[in-house]
Chains A and B, each alone.
Chain A
Amino acid sequence: MFVAFRLKMGQYWPGQSILHRMDPRAKAACALAIMVSVFFVHSVPQLAFAWAVALALVALSRIPVGKVLESVLPVVAMLVILAVCNLLLVRTGSTLVRLGPLTITSGGVWAAVLYSLRLVAAVMAAALLLLTTTPTQLTDAFDAGLAPLSRLGLPGHELAMVFSLMLRFIPTLADEASAILDAQTSRGGALAEGSVVRRVKAVVPVLVALLASSLRHANGLSRALDARCYEGGATRSHWHPLHMEVHDWLALAVTVVYVVVLILLG
Chain B
Amino acid sequence: MPGAGYTQPASADAMVSVASLSHVTLRYGDGPREVVALNDVTLSIAKGERLCVLGANGSGKSTLASVICGLLAPDEGTVSLLGREVFGANGVDIDGYRLARHEIGLVFQNPDDQIVTSIVEEDVAFGPENLGLAPDEIGVRVDRELRRVAMQDYARSDPSRLSGGQQQRVAIAGALAMEPRVLVLDEPGALLDVRGRRGIMRVMDTLHRDGVTIVHITHFVEEALAADRVVVMNHGHVMLEGTPEQVFSHGDDLGSLGLEMPFTARLSTTLRDRGLDVPWTCDDDVLAEALADTLGPKQARVDADGQAHEPQAAEPAPRTAIQVDRVSYTYHDTDGRNALDDVSFPVAQGASVAIVGQTGSGKSTLMRLICALEAPDQGRIVVNGIDTATRRNRRQLHGKVGYVMQHPERQLFAETVLDDVSYGPHNMGLAPEEVRRRCDHALALVGLVGKEDASPFQLSGGQQRLCAIAGILAMQPDTLVLDEPTAGLDPRGRAQLERILDDIHDHGVTIVRVTHSMNVAARAQQVLVLSQSRLLMQGAPQDVFCAANKQMLHDAGLGLPDALNWALRLGLSEEPLSMDALVDAVMHATRPTISKAPSGAKGVDVRGV
A residues whose Cβ falls under 8 Å from a Cβ of B = 3, 7, 10, 12, 14, 134-136, 164-165, 167-168, 171-172, 176, 179-180, 182-190, 204-206, 208-209, 212-213, 217, 219-221, 223-231, 235-241
Q: Is B492 at the interface (CB under 8 A from chain A)?
A: no
List 5 A–B pairs whose Cβ atoms lie within 8 Å, in order of A's numbering.
Answer: A182-B405, A186-B373, A225-B116, A226-B71, A230-B130
Cβ B119 vs Cβ A134 within 8 A: yes
Q: What chain A residues lie within 8 Å of B178 (beta carbons)?
A: 228-229
Nearest chain B residue, comparing its CB with the CB of A165: B116
Cβ B102 vs Cβ A229 within 8 A: yes
Q: Is B457 at the interface (CB under 8 A from chain A)?
A: yes
| Contacting residue for B113 out of A12, A221, A236, CB 8 A | A221
Cβ B413 vs Cβ A212 within 8 A: yes
Our count of residue pairs bridging A and B at CB distance below 8 angstroms stands at: 168
State A205–B410 Cα separation when bound (angstroms): 11
Main secondary structure of the interface of A (DSSP, over half): helix
Q: Is B158 at the interface (CB under 8 A from chain A)?
A: yes
Q: What chain A residues lie within 8 Å of B118 (beta carbons)?
A: 10, 12, 134-136, 167-168
Beyond A186-B399, A189-B427, A220-B113, whether A239 also contacts B405 by CB under 8 A is no
Beyond A167-B118, A182-B373, A187-B472, whether A217 also contacts B112 by CB under 8 A is yes
Q: What chain B residues lie within 8 Å of A179 (beta carbons)?
A: 405-406, 410
| Contacting residue for A187 out of B117, B156, B372, B471, CB 8 A | B471
Q: Which of B400-443 contact A (CB under 8 A)?
A: 401-403, 405-406, 408, 410-414, 423-424, 427-428
Q: Is B283 at the interface (CB under 8 A from chain A)?
A: no
A201 to chain B, nearest CB (A): 11
B473 to chain A, nearest CB (A): 11
Nearest chain A residue, comparing its CB with the CB of B127: A228
Q: What chain A residues lie within 8 Å of B472 (beta carbons)?
A: 186-187
Q: Which of B463-496 contact A (CB under 8 A)?
A: 471-472, 475
Q: What chain B residues lie within 8 Å of A182 (beta carbons)?
A: 368, 371, 373, 403, 405
Q: What chain A residues lie within 8 Å of B398 (beta carbons)?
A: 185-188
Nearest chain A residue, comparing its CB with the CB of B399: A188
Q: What chain A residues lie within 8 Å of B175 (beta carbons)?
A: 227-228
Instruction: Tell me which of B103-111, B553-561, B597-605 binds A.
Output: B103-111
Beyond A164-B116, A188-B428, A227-B106, whether A237 also contacts B133 by CB under 8 A is yes
State A81–B596 Cα separation when bound (angstroms): 83
State A189–B399 Cα separation when bound (angstroms): 10
Q: Is B221 at the interface (CB under 8 A from chain A)?
A: no
Q: What chain A residues lie within 8 Å of B423 (beta carbons)?
A: 184, 187, 189, 205
Q: What chain B residues lie within 8 Å of A217 (beta carbons)?
A: 112-113
Q: Which of B56-83 contact A (CB under 8 A)?
A: 66, 69, 71
Cβ B115 vs Cβ A136 within 8 A: no
Instruction: Tell me which of B21-29, B134-142, B222-230, B265-273 binds A.
Output: B134-142
B residues whose Cβ falls under 8 Å from a Cβ of A = 66, 69, 71, 98, 101-102, 105-106, 108-110, 112-119, 122, 125-135, 138-139, 142, 156, 158, 160, 174-175, 178, 333, 368, 371-373, 395, 398-399, 401-403, 405-406, 408, 410-414, 423-424, 427-428, 457, 471-472, 475
Q: What chain A residues lie within 8 Å of B98 (beta carbons)?
A: 231
Cβ B116 vs Cβ A168 within 8 A: yes
Q: What chain B residues lie within 8 Å of A189 (beta carbons)?
A: 423, 427
9 nearest interchain CB pairs? A220-B113, A188-B427, A227-B106, A208-B413, A186-B403, A187-B424, A183-B411, A135-B118, A239-B125
Beyond A185-B373, A229-B131, A230-B130, whether A237 also contacts B113 by CB under 8 A is no
Centre residue among B156, B406, B413 by max chain A CB count within 10 A: B413
State A259–B596 Cα separation when bound (angstroms): 95
A192 to chain B, nearest CB (A): 9
Q: What chain A residues lie within 8 Å of B134 (beta carbons)?
A: 237
Cβ B130 vs Cβ A186 within 8 A: no
Cβ B119 vs Cβ A184 within 8 A: no
